[in-house]
A = this chain, B = another copy of it.
């Protein structure tokens, strides 16, 4: 023990600086929450690792302002080609499928290595926090205690964590030092599930390094364990992953391929007749990732045992690939990264304890990487939790909203596990030779699963259950799904799902924006008013009556807003009307919809219109959202763009009731008058 622990007080301690931890830190930095982020590794990831980015993930990135960076640098995947053995057992292209279902998002699935994604997060964290938040590397927690007596006290710091600073050598992962063409190539085996947990080794090494081994104590209001599949935090709070692993072992090569296979720049699923399967993922910088089934490697025993990884080398993996892709030739001169893993699916029974310590990402669900889902679902875990923590820490929301993290994300984790289980089995199996071949996999069934999986894989289908923050009808009795599409005011909007996006025009300058571009992730709730054609006196009157109620000092806009804060700091009101743009101007709308500031004048960025643009077409929002131009509606969006509530345009009371269900009044009505 080299130094005496000194207690540091933070709102949130994030353990782990992979995508899930960095997403959490980005949210908290954006919301101005006092945060520390620690990671046991000495550096960020530079290559290899997870790489697919779903449409929904890109929408989220864009809401933080760096979607375009991922979009520009990444490789875009447009088409999936399925290759199966023909009657002679020779692989042939059997189908082409759109990689992303057209129309579901303004983004499509792309591929970019994790190191660049972490860079975007790190830049955003620095920018949002003005340098106050940064990732502290080479630091591990060694003990975690929760003072259960104070867990319900919003002002308490009930979690005490001891941190140990590692030396540089200990924080650098060991490479298996494979040599290819005479030089060492980075591999990912140290993070593979074929590798043993190295946490204990790291700690032991640190103890021996007298210089680096210092301790400190952090008292935190909340702790987020985003520390991966071997999560230390998970063990510290006594939670376990449940599930199983399979027989299937796969290798991964990131190479610049030299091949006459014509679809090497497409995403391909190749089933050979009897040598296993390959998934082709074309990447940036001429790289292609190949997921290659290693049929020669067998399962070695029970669930917790691991396949012998010493026999797995890039050469072994390549040889498998060459057998599968024959008669086409495949070789490479450039190998960027490689790894191997055993397929398995596990999920945590709980996502945290006391709503004070939470798990996110691989710490609470693991599965195979081929579906390109892991990093996305992990980041979306934190994206779900971050704004809730920020709102609670700021005293704007009741702690009860934190319960929705587990209820919302556990369902997603199970859906992911089920999807991966089915998909892996279909992909790892041998294609049926004919209809009588019952042990073989039907290629028709595989294609159907692929197509069906595409919507799931986009991240767009996520549909959160009813709760204090999702005001939807109870699950329908017909059982299948709890869709709330039934509400007739906006027939194409689904409460519980993220709001879709079409182009709308700014009333003041005619500029087209995607609706989602207006919904920046900054922690605020939004009321979007769709008043219809406000040149109709009835609609104008209904909108004006709502505005009158909202302008009242005791309205939800004022009651839940801390004194002295900006008018849109807790709940922002946006309007998208359906009159012709040229027939109205912003002064035709009540001032509460275009608030006045004595330095900046009126706010020109709150009122929009569903009309034709000069250069980018007509979004046809009312038609696409199923909103009647002579009826309109009001929609409440969560800070993560999920739809909480749909009601009548003049139903002030229901909106007020909704917010009153979990928001904390900042002033008494008397103070506000």
Interface on A for B, CB 8 Å cutoff?
Answer: 68, 72, 75-79, 96, 98-100, 102-103, 108, 256-260, 262-266, 282, 286, 333-334, 506, 508-512, 582, 585-587, 598-601, 604, 613-615
Contact = CB atoms under 8 A, between A and B. Distances in A.
Contacts of A96: 582
A291 to B, nearest CB: 18
Nearest to A107: B615
A72 B68 contact: yes
Contact of A266 (B333, B509, B601, B613): B509
B614 A256 contact: no
Contacts of A76: 509, 511
Contact of A334 (B103, B264, B511, B599): B599
Contact of A615 (B108, B257, B599): B108
11 contacts: A75-B509, A78-B510, A78-B613, A78-B614, A98-B614, A99-B614, A108-B615, A256-B601, A258-B598, A265-B506, A265-B509
Contacts of A613: 78
A282 B604 CA distance: 12
Q: Which among A68, A78, A260, A601 has the greatest number of chain B C-beta atoms within 10 A?
A: A601
A614 B585 CA distance: 38
B599 A265 contact: no
A599 B333 contact: yes
Contacts of A334: 599-600
Given A586-B262, A614-B100, A78 B256 contact: no
What 10 A-B pairs have minimum CB-CB distances, sorted nearest first? A265-B509, A258-B601, A262-B585, A78-B510, A265-B508, A98-B614, A79-B510, A333-B599, A76-B511, A265-B604
Given A266-B509, A509-B265, A601 B257 contact: yes
Given A260-B587, A264-B508, 13 more contacts: A68-B72, A75-B509, A78-B510, A78-B512, A102-B614, A103-B615, A256-B600, A256-B601, A258-B601, A265-B508, A265-B604, A266-B509, A334-B600
A100 to B, nearest CB: 7
User: What is the total number of copies of this protein in its complex?
Assistant: 2
Nearest to A331: B601
Interface of A is mostly: loop
A282 to B, nearest CB: 6
Contact of A598 (B108, B333, B601): B333
A414 to B, nearest CB: 30
A451 to B, nearest CB: 14
Nearest to A106: B615
A510 B265 CA distance: 9
A509 B79 contact: yes
A604 B258 CA distance: 11
A494 to B, nearest CB: 22
B614 A509 contact: no
Contacts of A259: 601
Contacts of A582: 96
Contacts of A587: 260, 262
Contacts of A265: 506, 508-509, 604
Contacts of A257: 601
Nearest to A586: B262
Contacts of A508: 264-266
Nearest to A286: B600
A600 to B, nearest CB: 6
A100 B510 contact: no
Contacts of A108: 614-615
A67 B94 CA distance: 40
A604 B510 CA distance: 40
A242 to B, nearest CB: 39
A511 B78 CA distance: 6
B100 A282 contact: no
Contacts of A100: 614-615
Contacts of A604: 264-265, 286
A220 to B, nearest CB: 36
A452 to B, nearest CB: 18
Q: Which among A75, A108, A510, A586 has the greatest number of chain B C-beta atoms within 10 A?
A: A510
A509 B282 contact: yes
B511 A615 contact: no
Nearest to A260: B587
Contacts of A506: 265
Contacts of A79: 509-510, 614
A127 to B, nearest CB: 14
Nearest to A604: B265
Contacts of A77: 509
Nearest to A77: B509
A263 to B, nearest CB: 8
A458 to B, nearest CB: 12
Nearest to A259: B601
A511 B333 CA distance: 26
A601 to B, nearest CB: 4
A599 B256 contact: yes
Contacts of A256: 599-601
A257 to B, nearest CB: 6
